[in-house]
Structures are given as structure tokens and as C-alpha cells.
Structure 1
């Protein structure tokens, strides 16, 4: 064992790049970290790969760091606890052209490192392990995680971001180092696993899967089933403005506007429909506000977070502040005309007037939204520069 460790370590002592960096985040994994490091080294040797093993000690309270170092790994320290924080520190320290990422609990066999690297060499940008296409040992994954949690979270990710992966949260994966700057990873918690897949999909990167086994972990689990699941869900919703904002906002605004028009056109209703009209007006304004918030969020993500949205950037080139103001003026005139007409329609119930006032409110809402988007759009030249780079 000592000779084998020396062989792997000697390949990492040069100042140049190596073939593969195996990155292992570690928090209080003294029971298994040495064996995981040894298994990673064995996987590199079996594949004939020149590599390094990096263990990121995430402020462990036990001897994990010392044991990893003794086993031959390079130890990086990250004091901010968090799955993503540990990986961000590890990824900043790698020298390998290809990066294999694996948990420190011994759940993933590492005898197929070569296959992950071969997929990257063949053109894949990211390779995910798939426990559901491989073999899950009895007792390795609790049934709520296996039959409810993981399938639902992966299905939600596939639905929102049009991915086609079978195990989005597998702890064994590989990525080309050259794509990391484009991914711009930043999540600090368990949602880091979702962030990788989401951003790779948004950037049209090539994602492949390799079946992998899944074993009973060594030591005590650190997962918090419900809070970690919520972090994944929250992250997916925030990164999907169309689902979180545009869809519910569009339904609310459409239902409210249709309700206002129908009630305004029905002249023979009793006078007790005023409250319903007010509710429809509020629904319309609220729905359009939600849509605007989604548009603001998406614009901010494209300009300041490095996201890509072809339709949004195309819209910037075709629609200007003046277009938004012109549309708002037309809406304002129509709303004012309807409001004025409601004083002479001979109906006591102000349903028609409520429709007009709602359109006036929408007009002002649209005008201020146009100004705000114009302010954000002042950084459009930065987007164009990035596109030419």
C-alpha cells in the first residue's frame, strides 16, 4: 500500500497539469476517508491515469484531515461548512484536465473512474453516475429517498430545465476543468449538485451518464432529508422564472382580466357583483406584477450572473424603452376612456369603471417596469462583449 500511494503522489508533485483530479469533500468522515482515498488511487492506477486526490476538509471535528493526508491525499481546508462550499474550494485547487467528484462516505465504487474520463475525452462536458441504472445495495438508500425523494427531485429538474438525466443528485460525477468558468458555480449547500446539472443544461453542454453502484455508507449520515430536499426545490424554482413567475402570473392576470371584461359587459347583473370585480382587478394587477418580477429576475441573471437566454437578448434588440412607454400610453388611454364611459352607462354597479381603473393601474405599472428594464439594459454592451469573446 505504501508503494502504491507513493506512485500516485509522485505524479502530482510536478508543477504541470495532471490527467485527473479526484475531489472528495469531507466532514467528519474519519471512519472511511482513508479507504476512499485508497480506492480513488487504485481507480486511477487501474485506468492508467496520471492523477491527484484532493480531500477538502470542511471544518471536521475528528481526524479526517490527518487520515486523508496519511493516505496520500492533498488536503485543502474550507472553514465554511457546506457541501457546495467544500466543492468550490476543491475545484479551485485542482490541476487535472478532468475532474472526478465523489463523496467521502464510501458509498460509490471507484473502479470505473476510467470510464468517466473516457466519456469526457470523447466529448462529454459532464458525466453523471446513475445509481438507478446501476446496482443499489440493500440498505444503502432509505426507501423514501429511493422511491420518492430522488425520483421527484430528478423529475422536477428534468421538467423545468428539459434535462434527461436519471439521477441528478448522484454523488459520483465528472466534469472537464475547462468548462468550470462557464458554469460559474456558486451554491454552498447540497443544492450544488442541482446547480451543476441545471447550469450545464442551460448552456447546452453535453451530459452523459454511467451506471454506478451504491453501497451502504461508512460512518454516520450527514443528510437532513427534508431541509436538503427543500434546498434543491428552492434552487430549481429560483432558476426557473418561467415556472415560478411567468406561469402563475400569466394564469392570474389572464383570469382576472377575462373576469373583469365579462362582468363589465354583462349589464343586467345585480348590484352585488362589485366585490367580485374588485377581486378580479386585484388578480389582474397581482398577476402582471408577478410576471414583471420574473422578467426582472431573468434579466438580472443574464446580465450579472452569466446566464444565457437567446429570446431575452433578442428581445432587447427589438424592443426599447419607447416601445414599452407607447404600449403603456395606449393602455392608459383605453382605461381612462372606459372609466369615463362608466359614468354614463346607467348602471349603479361600478363594474365597468373597475375594469377601466385596473387598466390605468396596469398602464402605470408597465411604464415603470419599462424604465426599470431600461436601467438594467444599460449593461447590455457587457452581454455583447461576452458573446464576441
Structure 2
């Protein structure tokens, strides 16, 4: 379906980076808004995630290079809709919550909309992961002036401007670099609270101290990058 229904654009692709998320995929894909396309980027799964996603109607893209950023960018390149969203594939975030994000971008009220994660249960967001995220958000404010509280993966923007930002990180720094480059380009970045659920299955990154440390290291390197004027400045 292409067009607009109830003021919600349906020219939307949802990029779902995936590494061994067979257990969570059915719930996540069932929550994709009607008319939108799910683009599951398989990043080397060995549990049949790609086959499950395909059987459930998702478009499956294979990205051999390991890394959250590599998977996200492969999905962005594979997308062809005017609007592109990103969401984790582990059941911790509900992709149906992206509908108002896309509506806000389509209305011209924002260029990039992010979800601020609000844990719904103990253990949904480990203390070390939350502390690392808070520290990075503070550094982001100093670097860009954006008063954001979270660098969460639930987000929406227009596809063509996103590609023009030239995000280069292919590891954990990808979502942060997207925000940094958007700020450099003068984008209006908005943040809205979203419930953060306990993930399904085992965390590959922020569920461990080692994973959190690696993510923070990747993101600190991004924050050290000098400002680069983007071709998408003034997308509004």
C-alpha cells in the first residue's frame, strides 16, 4: 500500500537489525503498522532468524560484516520508502510506537524523532548500560547542544536526507553518529518517551559489562569527530 491512511504515511520501511532473534521476531513483526514494510537485516544468525522473518512476510537482507551499524546501514541502503524507521529486533521496543514519529516527520515538525526509553520492569535496562547511556547523552549535549536524554534505537526520518548525512561508523557508534551528523546539519531532533520492555533472549551488547564498554568506546570516538557540514542542512 502506498499513500496516506488516517494521516499516517504508509511509504515506510522499518529496519530491524537482527542477530539470533528467532524467539522475538514473531512478536516484533506482528507489531509493524499495517502497510509498512519490515526490512530484517540478518547479521549472521545461526538460529533460523532469517527463515522465520521471511516466512512472516518480512524482506530479509543479509549483511556479512558484523556490527550494529553495519546491519542498520545495510537496511537503510535496502530501503526504498520515503520514510525509514529503526527498531531493535529483540522485543524490548514496540515498533507500532513509530507511527506518531513518522507522522511528526511527515508533518514537517521534526527531521529526526527518537524514542527515550523508559524501563517497565526491573532488569529491562541494566544499571551499567543506563549509566553509559547517560554519560554519552551528556557528552552529546556538550558536542551538539541537543538536550537529549537517550540514544535509543527507536527512530524515524526521511530516507534520502539520512543517506546524505554520510554516517560512517559501522559498529555501536552508528546511532550516535546519526544524531551528531543530524545536529551538524541543523536538523530538528525530537525525543519522546517510549516503554522499554525486558528483551527476549540474551543480549549481545549492553547486557554485559564488556559489551557496554565496547559500545561506549565506539561512541566516544564518534563524539571526538570534528563537525562536518552535511548536504542535508536545512532539510525542513
TM-score range (shorter-chain normalised) is 0.7 to 0.9
The residue matched to 1:96 in structure 2 has which SS?
A: coil
Partner of 2:208: none
Q: Secondary structure at the match of 1:164?
A: coil
2:223 to 228, 236, 257: 236
With structure 1 as the length reference, what TM-score do the two structures score? 0.54
Q: Which has the higher helix share?
A: 1
Residues in 1 aligned to 2:163 and 2:172: alpha-carbon distance in whole angstroms:
20
Counterpart for residue 62 of structure 2: 77
Higher relative contact order (CA 8 A, sep 6+): 2
In structure 1, distance between residues paired with 2:163 and 2:61: 20
Q: Structure 1 residue 135: deviation in Å?
A: 4.6
**How big is the shift at 1:69?**
0.7
Please say if residues 98 and 154 of structure 2, whose CA atoms lie closer than 8 Å, have aligned partners that are also in contact.
Answer: no
User: SS of 1:139's equivalent?
Assistant: coil
What root-mean-square deviation, in Å, do the aligned CA atoms of Structure 1 and Structure 2 show?
1.9
TM-fit CA distance, 1:150: 1.1
Match of 2:5 in 1: none
| 3-state SS in 2 of match to 1:92 | helix
Aligned match of 1:110: 95
2:193 paired with 1:208: no
2:179 is aligned to: 197
Deviation beyond 3 Å, 4+ runs, structure 1: none
Counterpart among 109, 114, 123 of residue 128 in structure 1: 114
* 2:82–2:160 Cα contact (<8 Å) kept: yes
Paired residue for 1:161?
A: 144
CA drift of 1:308 comes to: 1.7
Structure 2 Cα separation of the partners of residues 136 and 229 of structure 1? 24
Larger Rg: 1
Does the CA-based 8 Å contact 2:16-2:87 persist in structure 1?
yes
Structure having the larger proportion of residues in strand:
2
Paired with 1:112 and 1:225, the residues of 2 have a C-alpha distance of 26
Q: Distance in 1 between matches of 2:54 and 2:107?
A: 33
* Counterpart position of 2:20: 28
Alignment of 1:8-87 (within 5 A): 11=1, 19-40=11-32, 44-45=33-34, 50-87=35-72
Cα drift, residue 18 of structure 1: 5.4
TM-score, normalised to structure 2's length?
Answer: 0.87
Alignment of 1:240-389 (within 5 A): 240=226, 307-308=228-229
1:113: how far off?
2.1
**Aligned match for 2:129, one of 125, 145, 149:** 145
**SS of corresponding position for 2:88:** coil
Give, in angstroms, the shift of residue 235 of structure 1: 1.7
TM-superposition CA deviations, 1:166-195 (whole Å, max 9, x none)? 11x201111111312321122110100111
Contact 2:128 2:212 in 1 (8 A): no
Partners in 2 of 1:102 and 1:151 — Cα distance? 20
CA contact (8 A) 1:18 1:95 kept: no
In 1: Cα distance, 2:26 partner to 2:52 partner: 6
